[in-house]
Amino acid sequence: MNTSLAIYPGSFDPVTNGHLDLIERGAKIFGRLIVAVLRNADKQPLFTVDERVEMLREVTRSFPTVEVDVFEGLLVDYARRRGAQVILRGIRAISDYEYELQMALMNRKLEPSLEIVFMMPAESYIYLSAHVVREIAQFGGPLTGLVPPVVERRLRAKVS
């Protein structure tokens, strides 16, 4: 397993500037970073997995060491398959902590060699989530500074 390869998993429905901030920070630390979109059959997403991957690829094009992939099932199995030993997650407010702690400890129990690394975004993205972005888009609110321009266009088209 490789500590210079990290996986950044999430729904990315859609990718926001907060996610991008984390990707940029992660890309500085790890030799390679895989942004992995979870294919989750239970959820009712706004964008299909393919649409989310397309947007992620477009906005990470300038990062040569960043790859976008899709996974389903247990994250630890996917990490093992990809030969990664590090999972990257973002911590925003304190409210993220409890859920992230539970997930991290459970993943560690399933795969003790896995390390979970938490990073904080820039202050301006602390309150930003894909959920909030979807709500603002649904009511026609301003999205400038919250998502990359290509995502803003796709959101407007999706909800119109």
Which residue intervals of the chain are DSSP H helices? 17-29, 49-59, 75-82, 94-110, 130-138, 149-159
Stretch that binds ligand ADP, among 13-21, 40-48, 78-86, 141-149 (CB under 6 A): 13-21
**What is the spatial distance between Cα 131 and Cα 73, in angstroms, rounded to a whole number?**
23
In whole angstroms, give the CA distance from residue 38 to residue 92.
20
The answer to whether residue 11 forms part of the interface with ligand ADP (CB under 6 A) is: yes
128 is a site residue for ligand ADP (CB under 6 A):
yes
Position among 5, 6, 7, 18 found at the interface with ligand ADP (CB under 6 A): 18
User: Is 89 an interacting residue with respect to ligand ADP (CB under 6 A)?
Assistant: yes
What is the spatial distance between Cα 111 and Cα 104, in angstroms, rounded to a whole number? 10
Q: Which range touches ligand ADP (CB under 6 A), out of 4-12, 23-31, 68-76, 138-146?
A: 4-12
| Residue 26 lies near ligand ADP (rule: CB under 6 A) | no
Could you say whether residue 121 binds ligand ADP (CB under 6 A)?
Answer: yes
DSSP code per residue over 93-115: SHHHHHHHHHHHHHHHHH-TT-E
Of 5 and 22, which has the nearer Cβ to ligand ADP?
Answer: 22
